[in-house]
Structure 1
Amino acid sequence: DYEITFVDKGFKALLLKELQGQQQYILNICHFDGIELFTVQGQFNTFNLDQDNEKNDFYEALTEADLIFTAVGNQNLPGIISEIASILNSHLRENYILICENGRNLAQTYQKYFKKSKVFDTVMSRMCRFAALEEKNYISLLKSLPDKLVVESYDYLPLNHGACSPERFSPVFTLIEPEIFATWEDIKFFAHNGIHAFIAYHAFLNGYKYFSDVDQKLKEKAEKTMFNEIIPALHRAHPHFPFRELNEYGENLLERIYNPFFHDSIERGIRGILEKLKPNERLVSGLRFIYHQGIKPVHFASAILAGYKIASKLKSLPESMKDFLMNHCGIIEEELIQLVMDNPEI
């Protein structure tokens, strides 16, 4: 449906070169009952931003793009937005910029940088990863490179119908009503991102390397967190969204996370742990979200304590736990501080 342009930095130079040359790549799509090999073919262009001549060509291509996906990570996003805004604002053509990073209301934050281009939030829920070299069950992305791209079969891509023009988007996307889209934003951030971090942090402390290997005790903790705290809080915040569908999503999500064919790593789950413990991130925001819906987030809070313990091991934090919760996490409510520090789940 689209001509695709891939853009990255010099450390991905070889990958970009091979994509440009081969004009195809292979995905390992992981279902609950096995792995499907899928070849993506089409018209690809690639640009290495560390090469001046390619950077200039990229700027020209950028102004001609209909859809621009960020997918650069929250830490890199402000710099990228600043750079592309200076280019797009000089041409005054309407582009659609889709923010693919985790977070709430990011489009509202970044729209002010653009004169004509429109910025939209997305709900990117499909998990993907590059497999480790020792994982032999997957096929390389390209014949000439060892990188193996592993994705799950989940492919739901909702967009806010109230903000987007339907004619710009192929059937790959599902345009839904604004209040339903707002629910999906919270589902993704608190249920998906929140429970993924919860399981990863507890699993790391228990010595596990893969989500599919965690024991029944941890699975039961995750179920209590999901169905006693997260799902009820989502339903209270979004009563128009069917409770049955929330529960079904929670059940399916846990099955996706534990899928042995996707074989997600705990290392991926704890990556960027200090960033994920910041005030506007999944765990601290999730803690407050559940609490503000009148539910005591006992199980959910244990993920923050687990995160602190991991960060202390990996980063040698100079602060006491309470100082860390107040200064780094931005948790100032005494009840929530105590809920984390005295948590019975760890």
Structure 2
Amino acid sequence: MKAVHFGAGNIGRGFIGKVLHDNGYAVTFADVNTEIIDALNKDHEYTVHISEENGASYKISGVNGVHTANDPDQLSEAVSQADIITTAVGVNILPIIAKTLAPHLANRQTDKPLNIIACENAVLATDTLKTAIFSEVNETLPSNVGFPNSAVDRIVPIQKNDNILDVKVEPFFEWVIEKNSWVGEDTLAGVNYVEDLMPYIERKLFTVNTGHAGIAYYGKTLGYTTVSEAMDDEKVVSYLKQVLEETTLYLTHNYDFTEVEQKQYIEKIIARFKNPYLSDDLDRVGRGVLRKLSPNDRIVKPLVYLHNQNMDHSALSKLVMFALQFNNSDDPEQIEMKQRIEEAGVKGFLSEHSQLDDKLIEEIRSSI
């Protein structure tokens, strides 16, 4: 069995690539990073290290690389033979991947099923990729091509290894795939197939991602630089729990998760955040602040719901203010946010960008 994975970064190699390898796939990584691609084609293997005390190491062998811009013939051949195609490139890059992938899909002539899955930190990312692909092709793709959405979760901290291909990852991972959109009978071991993906997408988004944002933005206001430093402060841990208690209200009111289930999930997430072998830079965790303050993302969506339902949302209100104070000159979104606030004020920015009503904005502004 053969797989093509777009995005040979740490997530691609340390998470998706490892799962595919463990399922017996020969993985071809497609990327524009010449150094990584050359290393893959030289070594044809790398090691995934589990970041914990006495963590195990796993050799990922039989891998190849293809440069998406320089090797179109190689890429076309890889796509034509693939049983599965995955991505981990960032949701904003998916339209670019679609332009690259679409011509090769149109030329694919085989009866074997093909599943194309965007493994991105975004809601229904495969739908985004599918729409972009169909905008590039003039005909309908065969019915044996499936586009299941998925939800992925694994912390891969910033790192520097002696071998450019080796990756350190946390022990925990979760990959959930939309069952009804999957084609063919061959499924992936270690992956959870579900009929309704949205509960799992939002549980991860409003627990892991909201929690990470809470640590980053509150931790920065206290002068910390890493997740580990922030999580050593009981004030941060206490605030994090308050945030996740509020997002639990959203999740248990909208889905079938019980409070007990969500409490257990939160305990697992907090233990992950406290893992000293996973400590990440708060500037990196907090970057992309405009996206994180958008209406349907990790902070604003549960906040608005709780506000409208007259439920407690004080910790999420504070989180908006902490995010507005985020100071990272290396984050283009933070620079843009600052400019927009200077032009329109906090109220104008939150009204336009986050689409909040005046009452909630006033609550936020008086929250800290």
TM bracket, shorter-chain basis: 0.7 to 0.9
Cα deviations by residue, 1:223-251 (Å, 9 ceiling, x for unpaired) = 01112x1112111111x333311110011
Q: Return the TM-score normalized by structure 2.
A: 0.80
Letter in 1 for 2:73: N
Q: Which moved more, 1:247-256 or 1:305-314?
A: 305-314
Shift of the 79–252 alpha-carbon distance from structure 1 to 2, 3 Å rule, reads same
Aligned partner of 1:8 among 13, 19, 31: 31
Aligned to 1:321: 346
Please state how far the C-alpha of 1:101 moved relative to its aligned partner: 1.5
Alignment correspondent of 2:282: 266
Query: Partners of 1:92 and 1:230 in 2: how far apart?
Result: 47
Distance 1:75 1:87 in 2: 21
| Contact in 2 for aligned 1:35/1:261 (Cα 8 Å) | no
The separation in 2 between residues aligned to 1:242 and 1:165, in whole angstroms, is 32
CA distance in 2, matches of 1:341, 1:107: 37
The answer for the alignment partner of 1:171 in structure 2 is 189
Q: Structure 1 residues 187, 200: CA separation in 2 closer, same or farther (over 3 Å shift)?
A: same
Alignment partner of 1:111 is 2:127: no
Query: Whole-Å Cα distance in 2 between the matches of residues 243 and 160 of structure 1?
Result: 24
CA distance in 1 between partners of 2:54 and 2:279 (Å): 11
Q: What's the CA shift for 1:35?
A: 4.5
Residue 219 (structure 1) aligned with residue 237 (structure 2): yes
Counterpart of 2:90 in structure 1: which amino acid? G
Look up the match of 2:207: 191
The answer to whether the Cα contact below 8 Å between 2:250 and 2:302 also exists between their aligned partners in 1 is no
Does 2:41 align with 1:17?
A: no
TM-score of the aligned structures, taking structure 1 as reference length: 0.85
- Map 1:30-179 → 2, pairs under 5 A: 30-31=51-52, 34-51=53-70, 54-91=71-108, 94-112=113-131, 113-114=133-134, 115-116=140-141, 117-131=145-159, 133=160, 140=162, 142=163, 145=164, 149-165=167-183, 167-176=185-194, 178-179=195-196
Query: C-alpha separation between the residues in 2 aligned to 1:269 and 1:300?
Result: 17
Q: CA deviation at 1:309?
A: 1.4
- Structure 1 residues 35, 342: CA separation in 2 closer, same or farther (over 3 Å shift)? farther
Rounded to whole Å, the distance in 1 between the matches of 2:47 and 2:118 is 25
Tell me the SS of whatever aligns to 2:277. Answer: coil
1:88 to partner: Cα distance: 1.4
Taking the aligned partners of 1:56 and 1:221, their CA distance within structure 2 comes to 53
CA distance in structure 2 between the aligned counterparts of 1:38 and 1:231, rounded to whole angstroms: 35
- Kept in 2: contact 1:5–1:46 (CA 8 A): yes
1:335 to 355, 359, 365: 359
Q: Report the AA paired with residue 59 of structure 1.
A: S
Aligned to 1:230: 247
2:91–2:125: 8 Å Cα contact kept in structure 1?
A: no
Structure 1: distance between partners of 2:146 and 2:308: 32
With over 3 angstroms needed to count, the CA separation of the structure-2 counterparts of 1:22 and 1:223, relative to structure 1, is: same
Q: Give, in whole Å, the separation in 1 of the partners of 2:308 and 2:86.
A: 33
User: In the alignment, is the contact (CA less than 8 A) between 1:4 and 1:45 conserved in 2?
Assistant: yes
Letter in 2 for 1:216: E
Distance (whole Å) between structure 2 residues aligned to residue 312 and residue 337 of structure 1? 24
Note if contact 2:318-2:367 (Cα within 8 Å) is conserved in structure 1: yes
| Residue 136 (structure 1) aligns with | none
Distance 1:3 1:292 in 2: 50
Q: Which residue of 1 aligns with 2:19?
A: none
Q: For the structure 1 residues 62 and 302, does the alpha-carbon distance in structure 2 shift closer, same or farther, using more than 3 Å as the test?
A: farther
| Candidates 211, 221, 226, aligned match of 1:205 | 221
Which runs of structure 1 show a deviation greater than 4 angstroms over 4 or more consecutive aligned residues? 311-314
Q: Which amino acid aligns with 1:2?
A: Y
Distance in 1 separating the partners of 2:296 and 2:54? 36
Aligned length: 323
Structure 1 residue matching 2:174: 3-state secondary structure:
coil
The structural deviation recorded for 1:105 is: 2.9
Q: CA RMSD in A?
A: 2.4
Contact 2:155/2:169 (CA < 8 Å) preserved in 1?
yes
Instruction: Give the stretch that moved more between structures: 103-112 or 21-30.
Output: 103-112
**Structure 1: runs of 5+ lacking an equivalent:** 134-138
